[in-house]
Amino acid sequence: MAETQTGSLPGIPDGAEERREALVEVYRGASACERCALAETRNKVVFGSGNSDADLMFVGEAPGAEEDRRGLPFVGRAGKFLGELLEGIGMQREDVFINNVLCCRPPGNRDPQPEEIEACRPWLESRISLIQPRVIGTLGNFATKLLTGKPTGITKVRGSAQHHTLGGRPVLLLPLFHPAAGLRTRAVAEQLREDFKLIPGLLTEPLPEPIAAVDDLEPETESDPMERPVEVSADQMGLFG
Ligand code: URA
């Protein structure tokens, strides 16, 4: 836990375009990340995609095979279902920002390991700090436990919004089942559809003013992940609308 300042974190620009440019810089750094052993087996880093000024962010678990191949989050079957859930509340993928706890695919889609989550945490923290979402839907156990800072499993906490401070700002976390679980079990899919209906109301709920907040994600203290820029193509820059 670490103290952060009110409003924006130090070094976080105020304007949406400036924050988008900073996000592209972070993306450049993440594209060359070797902070954990997943760098050796990944095909592409899956940094996240969508609206860089989104009020609504989703955090999933980790890229799967299709995401690893394309460098984009939630583009397989679970992603298709996530798109349907969004459409059910009148929203599109382009309206939101979608990313994961891990930027790289664990071999064979095994569970993320604690050291991988820790290594990838600064990238997620940077995305939250720069995008400044009001509502974060945590998809499944890994994102929920990391961002709530509590070990309580998703089945107990799903569908109840929680107030947290992330990226130096107040945010409403909405724990949700992972869409992949909804593909396996009809009752989970139904629950997800119900829980998604909470989102429009949460997006208009007033958030408390940030005052000398305690952040729930620790800031990076070692090497600066925003360093080590690499060349990225114009196509990749288009990740963020
Ligand atoms: N599952 C996830 O958690 N993330 C993805 O990007 C795809 C599937």
Furthest-apart CA pair in the chain: how many Å?
A: 46
CA of 109 to the centre of ligand 1 (A): 10
Domain range summary for the chain, segments of one domain joined by +: 16-220
Give me the residues paired with residue 57 across strands. 97, 136
CA of 100 to the centre of ligand 1 (A): 7
In this structure, the strands spanning 169-176 and 162-166 are antiparallel
CA of 61 to the centre of ligand 1 (A): 6
Nearest CA owner, ligand 1 atom 3:
61
Closest atom, ligand 1, to C-alpha of 98: 6
Q: Which residues surround ligand 1 with Cβ inside 6 Å? A: 60-64, 67, 73-74, 76, 78-79, 100, 180
Name the CATH topology of 16-220. Uracil-DNA Glycosylase, subunit E (3.40.470)
What φ, ψ does residue 78 adopt, rounded to 5°?
Answer: -65, -35
Closest atom, ligand 1, to C-alpha of 67: 6
Residue 181: pLDDT band with limits 50, 70, 90:
very high
**pLDDT recorded at residue 218:** 54
User: Residue 55: is it exposed, middle or buried by C-beta count within 10 angstroms (0-12/13-18/19+)?
Assistant: middle
- Please tell me the distance from the alpha carbon of residue 77 to that of residue 80, in angstroms, as a whole number: 5
Instruction: Answer whether 215's CB lies under 8 Å from 149's CB.
Output: no
**pLDDT recorded at residue 226:** 39
Average pLDDT over residues 5-22: 79
Residue 82 is encoded by which pair of tokens? Answer: 């996530």
CA of 73 to the centre of ligand 1 (A): 6
**pLDDT recorded at residue 209:** 78
- Please tell me the distance from the alpha carbon of residue 39 to that of residue 21, in angstroms, as a whole number: 25
CA of 106 to the centre of ligand 1 (A): 11
Q: Classify each residue of 133-142 as buried b or exposed e, where b means 16 or more C-beta atoms within 10 Å of its C-beta.
A: bbbbbbbbbb
Residue 9: pLDDT band with limits 50, 70, 90:
low
Closest atom, ligand 1, to C-alpha of 72: 6
Pocket mutation for ligand 1, best pick of 99, 100, 110 (most atoms within 8 Å of C-beta): 100
CA of 232 to the centre of ligand 1 (A): 23
CA count, 13 A, side-chain hemisphere, 219: 18
* Lowest-pLDDT choice from 95-109, 160-174, 189-203, 210-224: 210-224
The 3-state DSSP class for residue 136 equals strand
CA of 128 to the centre of ligand 1 (A): 18
- Please tell me the distance from the alpha carbon of residue 72 to that of residue 125, in angstroms, as a whole number: 19
Distances (CA, A) of 108 to 116, 180, 217, 237: 15, 15, 28, 28
Distances (CA, A) of 228 to 9, 27, 106, 196, 223: 22, 11, 23, 38, 10
* Lowest-pLDDT choice from 123-127, 132-136, 233-237: 233-237
**pLDDT recorded at residue 217:** 64
User: Position of tokens 């208009």?
Assistant: 204
CA of 62 to the centre of ligand 1 (A): 5
Pocket mutation for ligand 1, best pick of 58, 61, 141 (most atoms within 8 Å of C-beta): 61
- Please tell me the distance from the alpha carbon of residue 33 to that of residue 139, in angstroms, as a whole number: 24
Asked whether the whole model's pTM tops 0.85, one would answer: yes
